[in-house]
Amino acid sequence: MPLMKSPAGDMEISISKVTAEKGRLITMGKFGAWDSKIYFTEEDIFEMIGFMLNWKVIRFILSLPVLFIKAKLKRNEKIKG
C-alpha cells in the first residue's frame, strides 16, 4: 500500500478503483481510516505527466520489469525453501 508521510503523521493510502466521469478521472479508496474519492481534471492529469517526465521516474518505470521478475523469483524461493 502507498504510504503518505507528512508533518501530521504517516497514513496508508489504498486505491480500490479508478474510473472516469464527466471529464474527470476519479480514484476511490481509503485515506487512513476514511473512504476517499480524488477527482482529477484534464489539467491535473497533464500537470502530473509533466512532473513524471524526468530521468529518475523514467528510469524507475523502465526498471519495473526487472524488479517484478526479482520479486517473483524471491517469492518462488520462499515457497520452495
| 55 and 77 share one domain | yes
Residue 31, pLDDT score: 86
| Same domain assignment for residues 17 and 50 | no
Q: Per-residue pLDDT for 1 more than 80? A: no
**Using one digit for the tens of pLDDT, what is the confidence trace for 47-80?**
999 999 999 999 999 999 999 999 999 888 888 7
Q: How many domains does the chain have?
A: 2
Three-state SS annotation for the chain: CCEEEECCEEEEEEEEEEEEECCEEEEEEEECCEEEEEEECHHHHHHHHHHHCCHHHHHHHHHHHHHHHHHHHHHHHHHHC
Residues 46 and 75 in one domain: yes
The confidence band for 81, taking pLDDT boundaries of 50, 70 and 90, is low
Q: Are residues 29 and 16 in the same domain?
A: yes
- The model carries a pTM of 0.67
Q: What is the span of the domain harbouring residue 11?
A: 1-40
Q: Do 35 and 54 belong together in one domain?
A: no
